[in-house]
Amino acid sequence: MPSLAPRVLAVIPPMTQLNTPYPSTAYLTGFLRSRQIPAVQEDLALALMLALFSREGLAGLHQAVQATPEAQRSAQVRSFAAQYERYAATITPVIRFLQGGDATLAHRINTRAFLPEGSRFETLDAYLDEDGGDPLAWAFGALGLQDRARHLATLYLNDLADVLRDAVDERFEFVRYAEKLATAQPTFEPLARALAAPPNLVDRLLQDLTLAAIERHRPQVVLLSVPFPGAVYAALRIAQTIKAHSPAVKIVLGGGFVNTELRELSEPRLFDFVDFITLDAGERPLLALLEHLEGKRSQQRLVRTFVRDANAVKYINFVEPDIPFEEVGTPTWDGLPLDKYLSLLDMLNPMNRLWSDGRWNKLTVAHGCYWKKCSFCDVSLDYISRYDAASAETLVDRIEAIVAETGQTGFHLVDEAAPPKSLKTLALELEKRGTAISWWGNIRFEKTFTPELCQQLADSGCIAISGGLEVASDRLLQLMKKGVSVEQVARVTKGFADAGVLVHAYLMYGFPTQTVQDTVDALEYVRQLFENGCIHSGFFHRFACTVHSPVGMNPEDYGVQLLPLPDSPFAKNDVGFIDPTGVDHDRLGRALKKAIYNFMHGIGVEEDVRSWFDMKVPKTTVPRHKIAKALAVPA
């Protein structure tokens, strides 16, 4: 008997990722189908990108450029106009090459005569060897034909994105599209103005793609999964289009952005675009909502759902248990064009490239975080606080089902921090069944990861690991309640590296009470970790205090004073604070980012870390061979 449940379309809005589908719709679609609810999915982020970066899309971009007075054109736009015919002739084969469909094109791309080149190619000058030879030989050598070509093709796409930003939509980014309209915005007004503005080229293409998806699937319910602020504007443009053309379709907004920034929502205008907004894990709220739309459940029995009632926002939370992680079903990528995603190569570093290179099946080992103590983290929210793991047998069942469906054996474990015990049992189960996969994911650098366990995980298919070192200072790590020390991190990361596993460190600066001396010492620790082969890549981000973190909830414990937040009917997450140290963290941050970029490319690792700063800073207090000596001590 056919299902009487509403037909559901889950949508990935622009912009998320281009190399692999963001996993939320795969999870929800798989779960709904496991409950016999008809569900399909679309990746409009990928579809929009492919429409923009096509021969027809570039023709539209060229028209926009031609309509721009010459005096108002940027250098990049003028370069595009002068080379338009070459761009039009090369865009289709380049996209096909980045999709893995025409490997032999690499030979022509590598001649540097096939692709038109704009300002993004100037970065290659930094890699010229002493004789003025091949600037990429150091990275790819003689055998890296495909990688070399993909890096050049990625620079070509970045040039085109710059033109699009300058000539059509200054907010355009491949990932953080119109991010500033949504990030910690106390008012909906910037988004409202943007959504009321006449549609530009990007908006019109997205409208066409939305209408085509609605016509193709004829859904009764559309789920808009918004993981980041950079997907909010486009999600609401999608909703606006659906409301105008198919007003009977019910639209549900959810995802990571909603779960963190809209928890105290009172802005009724958002409901001009969507009908329902759900918080936290979506399975239980969606089941309740679909039952409500079928007439089987009253509105008063919705779960973690915002609605608009008489022009006021109402939050309804009829308490029901969440679906156990063991029972959420297997994600499905059915309906997503897996052969159309683009393998880009922005960064030449072998670890850093994993985020944009290759199509990875996304999988979660456990819901939430087993540690949930870090003072900078949103530990009070469901996605961190509610820890719920699945058995190794269930995980490998899911892995084998996904491989059978997609034909691809690469997995990115997207946990906040994958539990070492679960990873050990997962490795044992993979070995027991003889299931061969490649996988990478995020962990805590805790002492449970012995060299023996690191090797066992490598043998099970682990190719890379990322984890938070944050501020490389034992004083600050203790204040953060990170539960690790710098020397412990060194031993764990070295254990993975010695097992042939690439290691990435998440790093932080600007934490409460962090001094200039702390910052210099932290960079010295990071330098030594690179020098000793413990880590292969890293990224420094500026600490941001959020209202859901221990720092935001108990600032006095961290020696800071929060700045008052404005009355906020819309987004609420980041909160400013006064740090009595008075350190110029932004200026220091520029040096940190420059240093680690060079470390990742093997440059300057032997230099005094003070050389990276454009201001006078103190000499490090860290002994020069601190990490080497720590590694010499048995764990």
Instruction: Show the 3-state SS of 63-110.
Output: HHHHCCCHHHCCHHHHHHHHCHHHHHHHHHHHHHHHCCCCCCHHHHHC
Give CA torsion, residues 556, 560, 561, 567, to 10 deg: -100
**pLDDT confidence of residue 127:** 56
Give the gyration radius of the chain's Cα atoms: 25
**Mean local confidence (pLDDT), 374-399:** 90
**Mean local confidence (pLDDT), 41-61:** 97
**Mean local confidence (pLDDT), 74-100:** 97
Examine the pLDDT at 3 and tell me if it is beyond 80. no
**Contact assessment for residue 315 and residue 306, using Cβ atoms and an 8 Å cutoff:** yes
Strand intervals (E) in 108-260: 221-225, 250-254
Give Cα 229 distance to the centre of its chain.
11
The model's pTM: 0.92
**pLDDT confidence of residue 142:** 46
**Mean local confidence (pLDDT), 614-625:** 95
Tokens 């000596």 appear where?
629
133-142 long-range Cβ contacts below 8 angstroms, 24+ apart: 136/348, 139/348, 139/601, 140/348
Examine the pLDDT at 8 and tell me if it is beyond 70. yes
**Contact assessment for residue 38 and residue 5, using Cβ atoms and an 8 Å cutoff:** yes
**pLDDT confidence of residue 5:** 76
Residue 78 phi, psi (nearest 5): -65, -40
- Asked if 8-45+180-326 and 347-632 have one fold, the answer is no
Band (pLDDT 50/70/90 cuts) for residue 337 is very high
**pLDDT confidence of residue 426:** 97
d(CA 271, CA 251): 10
CATH number belonging to the domain at 8-45+180-326, selected among 3.40.50.20, 3.40.50.10800, 3.40.50.280, 3.30.10.20? 3.40.50.280
Which one has a higher pLDDT value, 435 or 131? 435
**Mean local confidence (pLDDT), 142-147:** 74
**pLDDT confidence of residue 584:** 92
End-to-end CA distance of the chain: 61
**pLDDT confidence of residue 33:** 96
Examine the pLDDT at 388 and tell me if it is beyond 70. yes
Examine the pLDDT at 620 and tell me if it is beyond 60. yes
- Name which of 175, 172, 203, 215 is nearest 42 in CA terms: 215
**Mean local confidence (pLDDT), 600-611:** 93
Give Cα 275 distance to the centre of its chain.
27
Burial class (CB in 10 A: 0-12, 13-18, 19+), 141: exposed
Band (pLDDT 50/70/90 cuts) for residue 132 is low
Strand intervals (E) in 268-422: 276-278, 305-309, 312-316, 361-363, 366-367, 388-389, 410-413
**pLDDT confidence of residue 179:** 84
CATH number attached to the domain at 347-632:
3.20.20
**pLDDT confidence of residue 273:** 98
d(CA 605, CA 537): 13
Give Cα 320 distance to the centre of its chain.
30
- Name which of 14, 29, 23 is nearest 235 in CA terms: 14
Examine the pLDDT at 63 and tell me if it is beyond 80. yes
Band (pLDDT 50/70/90 cuts) for residue 525 is very high
Band (pLDDT 50/70/90 cuts) for residue 140 is low
Sequence spans of domains, the chain: 8-45+180-326, 51-174, 347-632
Examine the pLDDT at 141 and tell me if it is beyond 60. no
Examine the pLDDT at 135 and tell me if it is beyond 80. no
Band (pLDDT 50/70/90 cuts) for residue 1 is very low
**Mean local confidence (pLDDT), 337-362:** 90
Examine the pLDDT at 404 and tell me if it is beyond 60. yes
Return mean pLDDT, the chain.
92
Give Cα 173 distance to the centre of its chain.
13
Examine the pLDDT at 174 and tell me if it is beyond 90. no
298: DSSP letter? -
Band (pLDDT 50/70/90 cuts) for residue 567 is confident
Please, what is the Cα angle at 384 between 414 and 301, to 5 degrees?
Answer: 110
Band (pLDDT 50/70/90 cuts) for residue 145 is confident
Strand intervals (E) in 334-448: 361-363, 366-367, 388-389, 410-413, 438-443
**Contact assessment for residue 220 and residue 293, using Cβ atoms and an 8 Å cutoff:** yes
d(CA 213, CA 245): 12
**Mean local confidence (pLDDT), 376-402:** 90
**pLDDT confidence of residue 383:** 81
**pLDDT confidence of residue 574:** 87
Examine the pLDDT at 130 and tell me if it is beyond 70. no
For the chain, percent of residues with pLDDT exceeding 70: 96
Looking from the CA of 588 toward its CB, the CA atoms found within 13 Å total 26
**Cβ-based neighbours of 143, under 8 Å, separated by 6 or more:** none
- State which amino acid sits at residue 236: L
State pLDDT tens for residues 258-281.
999 999 999 999 999 999 999 999
